[in-house]
């Protein structure tokens, strides 16, 4: 069987579609920002005891009304002179101010990352880190579990998608930012974190104690499965847990193995896949989609840009079922939406999360970064997924409160359809 290594493995990218920007509790999760920081010289204040550029003006055209920046220094001085637990580290105030500046937009996916958080984020995208192994996000101003990762402490402790975290180590999460929640849950291997959870179907909140561990994400799994009435393993099963740096090469290898088995159907499992790199999602969808756009992107200018399919679409024409659930988000929704729009696959499971925006990670000179929402995306037929999600062709209702360990009703339904 010919190997279809037709789509090259991607370089390290910074256009990302993660739920919460892949700010995993694992935790999973250059332009104007750089220019403004460089021009102000504020980054030079860190560790130098001096502040440069205090009198400099912002680039022309950025201010539409007057701003008295002396108020910033007045508040800074008040804190340093009157706060009870003085002195306060200048870096803490400085990065806190930048976090507040970015938070002023009101977009939960646009965030400032201090150098340590930025480094952790990059490590998470590479697929290895320490934490509990769960994606978290904001939904209706509440901290929620998007998806526990397979085999991680979070999954073993019984965390489920849509669980609401109301307390972290005794700290109420009401009004807590996503970044604060990430920082509170993340920690070194062997340490413990206690979460108080509200779950649908359970009347009272309950506590879950989780021991953190080193998390290594296996982004792609492959096996051959049998239909429910057959002993012959002739169905190729490929599960993608994240769209990270090694996903495309591993997916390509899985496809080669699948095609060597001459399967009569393919199951692509995107359940609990919170997203990742936009380009990787386009590359994966291109194994089915040929000579058509995979996704449409709309920026501030309101113009829509097409991301065309790449490669030779070696899986086009293969009977395909895509599995999704409430933990399938962002890049997962791009793949599921494209295959659904072109009638290249039957989508089975629960309605997906509904994240239809694109973030770019813009690195700054001191190691910090800003993750900025730069665009919205739409399926090839122009469907907006933001807040709506992908509606499956066949809905499988999953009662997670009663779900037995090891059972996957969505996969079982797919295998039934392939009798």
- Residues taking part in catalysis: 330, 341, 355
Which of 44-49's residues contact partners 24+ apart within 8 Å by CB, and which partners? 45/90, 45/94, 46/90, 46/91, 46/94, 46/366, 47/91
Is residue 376 helix, strand or coil? strand
The alpha-helical segments, DSSP class H, found in 212-330 are: 247-260, 278-285
Beta-carbon neighbour count of residue 104 at 10 Å? 9
DSSP conformation class of 7? S
User: Measured at the alpha carbon of residue 273, what is the angle toward residues 272 and 276, in degrees to the nearest 5?
Assistant: 155
Backbone angles phi, psi at 95, to 5 degrees: -70, -30
Retrieve residue 103's tokens.
Answer: 């938070």
- The secondary structure of 43-78 as a DSSP string is GGGTTTS----TTPPPPTTS-SS---THHHHHHHHH
Distances (CA, A) of 305 to 171, 298, 374, 379, 402: 44, 6, 13, 12, 44
Residues 29 and 20: beta-carbon distance below 8 Å: yes
Euclidean distance between CA atoms 160 and 401, whole angstroms: 9
Longest dimension (CA), the chain: 76
Retrieve residue 407's tokens.
Answer: 């059972």
Helices 178-185 and 115-126 pack at an angle, to 10 degrees, of 70
């Amino acid at each position: 069987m010919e190997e279809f290594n037709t789509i090259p493995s991607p370089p390290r990218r910074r256009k990302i579609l993660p739920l919460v920007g892949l700010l995993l509790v694992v935790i999973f999760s250059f332009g104007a920002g750089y220019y403004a920081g460089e021009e102000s010289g504020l980054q030079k204040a860190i560790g130098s005891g001096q502040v440069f550029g205090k009198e400099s003006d912002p680039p022309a055209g950025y201010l539409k009304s007057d701003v008295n920046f002396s108020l910033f220094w007045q508040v800074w001085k008040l804190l340093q002179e009157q706060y009870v637990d003085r002195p306060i580290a200048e870096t803490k105030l400085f990065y806190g101010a930048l976090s507040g500046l970015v938070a002023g937009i009101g977009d939960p996916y646009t965030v400032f990352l201090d150098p340590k958080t930025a480094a952790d984020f990059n490590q998470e995208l590479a697929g290895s880190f320490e934490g509990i192994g769960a994606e978290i996000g904001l939904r209706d101003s509440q901290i929620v579990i998007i998806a526990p990762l397979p085999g991680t402490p979070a999954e073993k402790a019984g965390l489920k998608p849509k669980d609401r975290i109301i307390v972290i180590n005794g700290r109420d999460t009401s009004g807590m930012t996503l970044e604060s929640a990430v920082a509170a849950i993340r920690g070194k291997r062997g340490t413990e974190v206690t979460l108080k959870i509200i779950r649908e179907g359970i009347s009272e909140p309950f506590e879950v104690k989780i021991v953190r561990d080193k998390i290594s994400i296996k982004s792609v799994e492959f096996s051959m499965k049998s239909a429910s009435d057959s002993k012959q393993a002739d169905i190729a099963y490929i599960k993608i847990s994240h769209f990270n740096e090694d996903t495309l090469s591993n997916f390509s290898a899985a496809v080669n193995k699948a095609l060597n088995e001459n399967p009569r159907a393919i199951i692509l499992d995107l359940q609990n896949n919170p997203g990742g790199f936009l380009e990787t999602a386009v590359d994966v969808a291109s194994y089915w989609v040929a000579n058509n756009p995979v996704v449409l992107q709309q920026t501030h200018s309101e113009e829509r840009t097409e991301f065309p399919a790449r490669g030779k679409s070696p899986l086009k024409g293969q009977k395909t079922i895509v599995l999704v659930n409430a933990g399938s988000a962002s890049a997962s929704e791009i793949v599921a939406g494209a295959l659904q729009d072109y009638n290249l696959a039957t989508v089975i499971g629960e309605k997906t999360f509904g994240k239809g925006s694109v973030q770019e990670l813009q690195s700054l000179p001191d190691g910090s970064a800003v993750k900025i929402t730069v665009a919205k995306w739409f399926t090839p037929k122009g469907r907006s997924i933001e807040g709506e999600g992908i509606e499956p062709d066949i809905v499988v209702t999953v009662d997670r409160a009663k779900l037995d360990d090891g059972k996957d009703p969505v996969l079982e339904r797919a295998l039934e359809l392939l009798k």
